[in-house]
Chains A and B, each alone.
Chain A
Amino acid sequence: MTHLAGHRPPDVPAGPPGAPVVEIQDLVRHFTSRRLTGRGIEKSVVRAVDGVSLSVGKGETFGIVGESGCGKTTLARIVLGLLSPSAGRVLVDGVDLAAVRGASLRSLRPRVQAVFQDPYSSLDPRMRVGRAIGEVVAYHHRAWDRARIRARTTELIEMVGLDSSKADAYPGQLSGGQRQRIGIAKAFATDPELVVADEPVSALDVSVQAQVINLLMDLQAENGVSYLVIGHGLAAMEHICDRIGVLYLGKLVEVGPASVVLSAPRHHYTAALVESAPGDGRRELSVLTGEPASARAVPSGCRFRTRCAAAQARCADDEPSLAELGPGHSAACFYPRLAPNG
């Protein structure tokens, strides 16, 4: 029986060999708000990220899947240095991004760049896109002259599959797909080691999504860059990710190779996600009952137990941690699903 007590959880789920590009250790982020109500001052804590550890190796694509409220956007913002964590470390090349400030933070920034979800608000509407890219290039290469900056800008624009004449366009003159390509060009302007992509194709037309996915994969093959992808569509995530982590209410409930996690999930939430997603012409979508719990009122013990068909008494008392169930594949569950073929 695959009944594993949560013994000796690995600190950081194993990734490919070699020094990881980014290592996230026990990251926590709580948002506290105090409200004055009829009963006095009420304090409510949103436990957006509640202890996440993972590592991304060189040239690897690590995907995070989860639904709204799971904390994936908060996680992305912390890794990007846009938000400081309540606890935990984000190690980029051994330096804790969360602990540095000011100029030392700025010197780390080139290594971790972002591609955002919304191609419409991620570009300054009043700045020509060439200039927006050039600005980033110029800041990180203070010694370069204008010609060299312009050459590099052109190189970046062509690298993402656009004609160099687009440099003079304003964002409003470009389509969603083209804007997203410019966003990608800007991300690569600093030659980053890690690109955090927050739902990079969700806002694009379906017929354009494949183009951008291909672009991201081509760029990875050429540059050896690592990706941390926050994603939505399970099929796309399976396609582009090496490993996937499933986030639920601020904690990773399952981590492992993408195809394994999505085709043979061991955690019940992952299974629910996989079986709810329409696709392949299946007519039966498994339906998860109940509402997603709120990060404001996290259930005791296993946070998924309120919606889990396999929940038992123990699940309310103890909280399971990630336990290795297969090579590089771990799940946080006292009664995980059976592996296929025993």
Chain B
Amino acid sequence: MSQTAELAGRPAQDRRERAQSVRRGRRQRNIAVWVSCAFLVLVAFAAAFPGVVAPGDPLALHPTVVLQGPGAAHLLGTDEYGRSVFALLVHGARAALVVGLVCAASGGIVGSAMGMVAGFFGGVTDQSLMRLNDILMCFPGILLALLVGAALGSSLQNEIIAVSVGTVPVYARVARGETLRVRGMLYVDSAIVAGLPRRQIISRHVLPNVLAPLVVVATLAVGVSIVLAASLSFLGLGPVGGVPDWGSLLADGETNISVAWWISTFPGIAITLVVVATNVLGDWLRDRLDVAAR
């Protein structure tokens, strides 16, 4: 009895309280968005100019200060080689962000194309592409990335490929769903009747209307990619040599976790914060785009 159910009314006092809490909620959300934005800008800056934020060679060994806890001398402590955890984090930020962005983008392009083609053409094309997608979806992201990574070997390039493959299914699903929705719209029928070629219909009418949700998926995929890449590195399948990325740092700290909790914990916190920040931004973006579309 959806509509015949009544909307509860409230006396005037309740009305004021409800309006206030709505305003409070909105303000809280806006603060979260600003904070996430600021945080990500900081991380990007650190990734771009690590030397400015943490000068010196992060890989240099300092045997005299091994396994020092967080304090005045070393912000986040040192590892078993005396290297500052903070410096390692800052220098590893680049790898984390680059991997996140590149994987989200490449996975996005492949996945979206797959979904759009499947949704627009339907029939056998749709069935075969989606079954392929189903196979990809059978594997949890990490397992998929693992398989690809193990097959291809450890290198940054292969890690990117592996993680991208892990993000493809979600894009394909969303792209297909949105394409099906748009495909059912009369303006697509109108373009077909007008004789426009399919290529043009997809690029000029389907793509712009499908883009909004895909952008949201992309921002969320950045977070997912970072976690996937870190997991791969943690398991030893990431790139070797050079500045360890955050996942490797986590792995390195594992052995000493009982005596030096900070080596694993801070990289973990860093990963978490970046993912949360991208998620908050993704939510905000989705809300904004939803309103705009209406």
A residues sitting closer than 8 Å to B (CB atoms) are: 80-82, 106-107, 109-110, 112-114, 116-118, 121-127, 132, 135-136, 139-140, 183, 186, 189-190
Asked whether, in the complex, the Cβ of B187 is within 8 Å of the Cβ of A113, the reply is no
Asked whether, in the complex, the Cβ of A126 is within 8 Å of the Cβ of B195, the reply is no
The chain A residue sitting closest to B192, CB to CB, is: A82
B204 within 8 A of A: yes
Asked whether, in the complex, the Cβ of B204 is within 8 Å of the Cβ of A116, the reply is no
B256 within 8 A of A: no
Q: Could you tell me which residues of chain B, from 68 to 83, have a CB within 8 Å of some CB in chain A?
A: none
B241 within 8 A of A: no
Q: Could you show 19 A-B contacts with beta carbons less than 8 Å apart?
A: A82-B193, A106-B197, A110-B195, A112-B193, A113-B193, A114-B193, A116-B189, A116-B190, A125-B209, A125-B293, A127-B208, A135-B200, A135-B204, A136-B196, A139-B194, A139-B197, A139-B200, A183-B190, A186-B190
The digit string for B192-218, where 1 denotes a CB below 8 A from any CB of A, is: 111111001000110011000000000
Chain A residues within an 8 Å CB radius of B193: 80-82, 109, 112-114
Chain B residues within an 8 Å CB radius of A110: 195
B186 within 8 A of A: yes
Interface residues on B, range: 10 to 19
| Bound-complex Cα distance A82 to B204 (A) | 19
Asked whether, in the complex, the Cβ of A121 is within 8 Å of the Cβ of B187, the reply is yes
Answer whether A114 and B189 are a contact pair too, CB < 8 Å, given A125-B293, A140-B195: yes
Question: Among B185, B195, B196, B204, which residue has the most Cβ atoms of chain A within 10 A?
Answer: B195
Asked whether, in the complex, the Cβ of A114 is within 8 Å of the Cβ of B293, the reply is no
| Bound-complex Cα distance A139 to B293 (A) | 28
Asked whether, in the complex, the Cβ of A118 is within 8 Å of the Cβ of B196, the reply is no
Contact check: which of A82, A117, A122, A189 meets B187 at CB < 8 Å? A122
Chain B residues within an 8 Å CB radius of A190: 194-195
| Bound-complex Cα distance A139 to B197 (A) | 9
Chain A residues within an 8 Å CB radius of B293: 125
| Bound-complex Cα distance A126 to B208 (A) | 7
Asked whether, in the complex, the Cβ of A121 is within 8 Å of the Cβ of B185, the reply is yes
The chain B residue sitting closest to A105, CB to CB, is: B195
Asked whether, in the complex, the Cβ of B208 is within 8 Å of the Cβ of A116, the reply is no
Q: Could you tell me which residues of chain B, from 122 to 180, have a CB within 8 Å of some CB in chain A?
A: none
Closest beta carbon of chain B to A31's beta carbon, Å: 15
Supplied contacts A114-B193, A125-B209, A125-B293, 18 more A-B pairs, CB within 8 Å: A81-B192, A82-B192, A109-B194, A114-B189, A114-B190, A122-B189, A123-B190, A124-B205, A124-B209, A126-B209, A127-B208, A132-B187, A135-B191, A135-B194, A135-B204, A136-B195, A139-B200, A190-B195
Closest beta carbon of chain B to A144's beta carbon, Å: 16
Chain B residues within an 8 Å CB radius of A81: 192-193
Asked whether, in the complex, the Cβ of B195 is within 8 Å of the Cβ of A121, the reply is no
Closest beta carbon of chain B to A114's beta carbon, Å: 5
Closest beta carbon of chain A to B178's beta carbon, Å: 13
Chain A residues within an 8 Å CB radius of B200: 135, 139
Chain B residues within an 8 Å CB radius of A122: 186-187, 189-190
Chain A residues within an 8 Å CB radius of B208: 124, 126-127
| Bound-complex Cα distance A34 to B267 (A) | 55
The chain B residue sitting closest to A77, CB to CB, is: B189
Asked whether, in the complex, the Cβ of A116 is within 8 Å of the Cβ of B186, the reply is yes
| Bound-complex Cα distance A139 to B194 (A) | 9
The chain B residue sitting closest to A137, CB to CB, is: B194
Chain A residues within an 8 Å CB radius of B186: 116-118, 121-122
Chain A residues within an 8 Å CB radius of B187: 121-124, 132
| Bound-complex Cα distance A135 to B188 (A) | 13
Question: Among B186, B197, B200, B208, which residue has the most Cβ atoms of chain A within 10 A?
Answer: B186
Chain A residues within an 8 Å CB radius of B190: 114, 116, 122-123, 183, 186
The chain B residue sitting closest to A107, CB to CB, is: B195
Chain B residues within an 8 Å CB radius of A183: 190
| Bound-complex Cα distance A107 to B196 (A) | 10
The chain B residue sitting closest to A110, CB to CB, is: B195
Closest beta carbon of chain A to B287's beta carbon, Å: 18
Chain B residues within an 8 Å CB radius of A140: 195
Chain A residues within an 8 Å CB radius of B185: 121
The chain A residue sitting closest to B182, CB to CB, is: A124
| Bound-complex Cα distance A113 to B200 (A) | 18
Asked whether, in the complex, the Cβ of A186 is within 8 Å of the Cβ of B205, the reply is no
Asked whether, in the complex, the Cβ of A127 is within 8 Å of the Cβ of B195, the reply is no
The chain A residue sitting closest to B197, CB to CB, is: A106
Closest beta carbon of chain A to B64's beta carbon, Å: 63
| Bound-complex Cα distance A121 to B183 (A) | 11
| Bound-complex Cα distance A117 to B186 (A) | 9
Question: Among B193, B204, B205, which residue has the most Cβ atoms of chain A within 10 A?
Answer: B193
| Bound-complex Cα distance A114 to B186 (A) | 10
The chain B residue sitting closest to A114, CB to CB, is: B193
Asked whether, in the complex, the Cβ of A136 is within 8 Å of the Cβ of B194, the reply is yes
Chain A residues within an 8 Å CB radius of B204: 127, 135
The chain B residue sitting closest to A81, CB to CB, is: B193
Chain A residues within an 8 Å CB radius of B192: 81-82
The chain A residue sitting closest to B209, CB to CB, is: A126
Closest beta carbon of chain B to A183's beta carbon, Å: 7
Asked whether, in the complex, the Cβ of A186 is within 8 Å of the Cβ of B194, the reply is yes
| Bound-complex Cα distance A48 to B209 (A) | 32
Chain A residues within an 8 Å CB radius of B189: 80, 82, 114, 116, 122
